[in-house]
């Protein structure tokens, strides 16, 4: 018999994988919300400075190792061993953050063979993200074979966007084939909506600023527009991603630079953004330190980043017909006062006053656990 998802000891494992990292958490249902039993991350996967960190609910370090994880699979195996040692119980469900569901996977759902087939068919929509998600799902299903596995899609939150926001100005046949604005960071935005609850006003703008960065305009807690598009490469400039570019740039690079699709993909995702503007640095904290020393390239990179955020905020204030709340989240949004200040400078003219600006931590992993618990209760 399946375990009651509301039972106190019904544990949910959440896996949030990145290109070189794996964030995770084990959650138990508390009185009113999901409560972490342990959290942690494997960072620098595949690099010599790889680390594994696992903490208990009170912040006590259970595992702190400097070691090399050759792959996401190695990191997941180490996590499974830590769960067995420190919790002595297996999770009843595993929630996977999947960045892109393609045009057919529209809602958070149980992972079935059919869902995996649909994900494989959608690889061309996110060739950097979907194969990685498929690999970690396959490995987790083997390690946690008795658990139900759920896919929580980062683009699902933006399904409420009207067609005027999602429909790209290209021939209809491409839209019918799934070429549209999807938007991402949806699990982060969902977590903010749920956390703010009744305190969320009608007109809000959320800015998730990290190595990947986007903004979202919300009316009554629903996404009506967002800066990212078909893929997480679009929108504002990011750590190593270009953001939106004139399509003529791609034509030039193909014709004159002789770049093929794979080379373009690498350039736009790994060699652009702040990294390109600053000649080799994508970390905002490091750029801020360089800017204090009057490094002109660091100053330029930060100015471009902040200005692009400010332009997006201004556009969304116009779209919403005013603003009641601006929330910054993500590592940069939460911790960089410099970026928050620069991104909102001069926007008082649009009615954005200091009392309408907040920095709120994102809770993506908790949000995934919340979705999994709800999905487990649904009749099959």
Residues annotated as catalytic are 154
- Report yes or no: 273 and 237 within 8 Å, Cβ to Cβ: yes
Going along 210-299, which residue ranges are E strands? 213-219, 222-226
Tokens of 305: 């980043």
d(CA 23, CA 114): 26
CA proximity to 264, closest of 277, 247, 279, 280: 247
Rounded Cα–Cα distance for residues 272 and 31 (Å): 45
User: What CA–CA distance (Å, rounded) separates 237 from 275?
Assistant: 10
Q: How many CB atoms lie within 10 A of CB 59?
A: 7
Q: Say how many C-beta atoms besides its own lie within 10 A of residue 132's C-beta.
A: 17
Q: 203 with 324: CB under 8 angstroms? A: yes
Q: Using only the alpha carbons of the chain, give its radius of gyration.
A: 21
């Amino acid at each position: 018999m399946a375990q009651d998802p509301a039972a106190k000891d019904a544990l949910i494992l959440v896996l949030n994988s990145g290109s070189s990292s794996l964030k995770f958490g084990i959650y138990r249902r508390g009185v009113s919300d999901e409560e972490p039993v342990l959290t942690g991350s494997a960072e620098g996967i595949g690099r010599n400075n790889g680390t594994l960190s696992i903490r208990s609910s009170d912040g006590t370090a259970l595992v702190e190792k400097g070691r090399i994880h050759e792959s996401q699979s190695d990191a997941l195996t180490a996590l499974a061993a830590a769960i067995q040692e420190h919790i002595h119980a297996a999770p009843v469900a595993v929630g996977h953050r999947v960045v892109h569901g393609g045009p057919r996977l529209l809602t958070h759902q149980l992972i079935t063979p059919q869902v995996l087939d649909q994900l494989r068919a959608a690889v061309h929509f996110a060739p950097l993200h979907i194969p990685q998600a498929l690999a970690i799902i396959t490995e987790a299903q083997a390690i946690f074979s008795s658990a139900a596995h759920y896919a929580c899609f980062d683009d699902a939150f933006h399904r409420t966007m009207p067609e005027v926001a999602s429909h790209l100005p290209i021939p209809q046949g491409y839209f019918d084939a799934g070429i549209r604005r999807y938007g991402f960071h949806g699990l982060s935005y969902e977590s903010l909506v749920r956390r703010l609850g009744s305190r969320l006003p009608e007109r809000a703008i959320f800015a998730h600023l990290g190595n990947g960065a986007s903004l979202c305009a919300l009316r009554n807690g629903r996404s009506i527009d967002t800066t990212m598009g078909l893929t997480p490469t679009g929108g504002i400039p990011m750590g190593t991603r270009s953001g939106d570019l004139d399509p003529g740039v791609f034509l030039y690079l193909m014709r004159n630079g002789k770049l093929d699709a794979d080379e373009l993909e690498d350039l736009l995702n790994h060699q652009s953004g702040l990294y390109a503007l600053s000649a080799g640095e994508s970390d905002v904290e490091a750029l801020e330190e360089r800017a204090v020393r009057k490094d002109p390239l660091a100053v330029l990179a930060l100015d471009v980043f902040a200005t692009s955020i400010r332009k997006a905020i201004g556009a969304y204030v116009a779209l919403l017909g005013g603003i009641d709340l601006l929330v910054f989240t993500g590592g940069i949004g939460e911790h960089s006062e410099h970026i928050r200040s620069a991104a909102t400078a001069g926007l008082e003219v649009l009615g954005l006053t200091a009392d309408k600006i907040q920095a709120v931590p994102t809770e993506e992993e908790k949000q995934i656990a919340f979705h999994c618990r709800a999905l487990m209760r649904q009749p099959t």
